[in-house]
Structure 1
């Protein structure tokens, strides 16, 4: 059964933070998201231009309406803005046996105040005691605890102060510490346990929405029934991935990408599926075995934004020849062929749309057919520089780059071998299905 989470927060017209970010995160993590909007902000990646406070009575009716018909399994409190709204929220949620995550939205990343000065006391006295978890960053934890935070021990002390003010658990996020790694410090109030969650720092100064994404992710995991510690660890991993895949859309802060996990998983599945369908078709083609070289054939397909061989799928163990029958030796998986990955990644650096590649054997007839059907180029392995030859795995990249320098639109790149090296043709296409069509054309002329 689908769980429901409620975000009580402000609206961000730039959609990088606030309820817009929360809804994206809830959806990405399999939770149905509802909202009660506390304020309308006019903002973009550079600044908050204006804030319109929603009347407390309307905030109250939003919360009542959702809870009467769509009872949430967990609630996130984001931007609450004023004493009046805090009063309504505290009154409606008091005594509710629901997991509540309080994200202390005191100011925007661009500096604008998102909590009125006269609302701080109410925030601390009325909302912290409702919190299953409070998720401040360094600056927010300093403001709420009244102490300076310089290291992990200070984070623990600040968290304990917030627990003493009523919060059940506190996680002080480590993104604003100037260190090579980012460590979030979680303090569990019932046991006093301190848990550190560490990731390498991503090389961006700051991103818009990461705090909202994190607190919304924790809320989603709590709604799904995970314990606080598990929810924090999983939310940390989720947001780390979202920050790695930030998008630069405006002139200001980069925007955290909370849907990257869905896009990545969907694209990986699509790549594996499309390549397997193409391999199944390929091995059934009449006479295809005659194109398989002594070192066997491999067939690779890269993710659209691939930068590493681990983001290129290929056939583990290659496609071999058993008599007159082509055989897929093992399954298709990412990282299965460094050689084919090297070829396609190099090609993609020139023409990003060409994401699929296969290798076939060379004889003069096959080569002549390729030249008659496709744009071709070549490289001479005997001219390979010594420093390339001595560096493991560099030959194919060098050769592909050399051939493309001669003809940047070549669909076929070949070399005629060298001492101990079999001649080879690499055939490129936009996708595996296009490569199979090109192989079919070769076979029509060859057989």
Structure 2
């Protein structure tokens, strides 16, 4: 993993772009290249490149409304005498802090360090936070679970038409944004399983609803996978000593219905299923302490079913 600091991106990508934008705006307001060079602390030759459009830069910042507004404000202030270098620096520092908070600098940082993707990273804003470790662990677990499913023999036969997803929630989760899953779901295509993207928090409403219902009854259960309902698979669960729980497919509040059924059982079952309804495909949920636990149980069920 390459270690890239956000400050490197500010120096290498943000500053050249903003300097070019400022040079252009100041030239449009009548400043000479020598005056612009003095304001920006660069050479006149650099200003010439900025103004001619030869300096490159990053369109992500050029097109960012907040960056454009800040540059316009600084240019007006410098030309009108309402700002000096100190004021302009304060404006730019404030802009950098804003762009590091889920803005273009944050996007660039995720591109340079893919390990940050999906975290909703606030590292630049909140600093070192133990919650980030928990988020990374959950994302890694879901990623491993998805790969486990993709390598499980015969798994393609149990992918519903609506797709499969695998999810896992953070401890003490409140809503679906605390549940990591695969964006776009997992599909079977051409006899193989396609995982369209790395896991992200808030990526799946359906599997998140099941996970949150389970963890509300038993905090030790934080992972789930949905697959197609199949009688042979349900019989395999019973062979392994698991009593599947049937629930209704047609209901208004699925989360509340699942919580009620789990509470009636007195525990969260490892396997819960429904038979479908009008416009609703039959689906089975397999639960586990983690997403990997749920994925591995599916492998055990498929192996038992085939013997």
Q: 1:310 to 1:261 in 2, by over 3 A?
A: farther
For 1:271 and 1:403, the matched residues in 2 are separated by: 26
The residue number in structure 2 matching 1:416 is 275
After the TM superposition, which residues 103-114 of structure 1 pair with which residues of structure 2 at under 5 Å, given as runs?
none
Partner of 2:260: 402
Identify which of 363, 366, 377 aligns with 2:245. 377
Q: In structure 2, list runs of 5 or more residues that go unmatched.
A: 1-85, 103-125
> Does the 8 A contact of 2:145 with 2:166 survive in 1?
no
> Matched residues in 1 for 2:196 and 2:98: separation?
38
Q: What RMSD in Å do the two structures reach over aligned CA positions?
A: 3.3
- Say whether residues 1:347 and 2:206 are aligned partners: no
CA drift of 1:375 comes to 3.7
Q: Distance in 1 between matches of 2:180 and 2:187?
A: 17
- Residue in 2 that maps onto 1:286: 153
Q: Secondary structure at the match of 2:129?
A: helix
Query: Is contact 1:403–1:413 with CA below 8 Å preserved after alignment?
Result: no
Instruction: Choose from 290, 295, 299 the match for 1:436.
Output: 295
Q: Which has the higher contact order (CA 8 A, sep 6+)?
A: 2
Structure 1 partner of 2:172: 305
Aligned to 1:245: none
CA contact (8 A) 1:400 1:413 kept: no
Q: Which runs of 5+ in 1 are unaligned?
A: 1-189, 196-225, 238-258, 389-393
TM-score, structure 1 as length reference: 0.40
Aligned with residue 229 of structure 2, among 362, 368, 376: 362
CA contact (8 A) 1:413 1:426 kept: yes
Q: Does 1:314 align with 2:184?
A: no
Seen in structure 2, the aligned counterparts of structure 1 residues 232 and 342 have a Cα distance that, compared at 3 Å, is: same
Which structure features the higher share of helix residues? 2
1: distance between equivalents of 2:146 and 2:289? Answer: 15
Partner residue, 2:66 = none
Residues 225 and 287 of structure 2 are in contact (CA less than 8 Å); yes or no, is this contact kept in structure 1? yes
CA contact (8 A) 2:233 2:305 kept: yes
Report which of the two has the higher share of strand. Answer: 1
Q: Deviations over 1:168-227 (max 9, x none)?
A: xxxxxxxxxxxxxxxxxxxxxx76xx99xxxxxxxxxxxxxxxxxxxxxxxxxxxxxx96
Q: Structure 2 vs 1, CA of residues 406 and 260 (structure 1 numbering), >3 Å: closer, same or farther?
A: farther
Measured in 2, the distance between the counterparts of 1:285 and 1:231 equals: 46
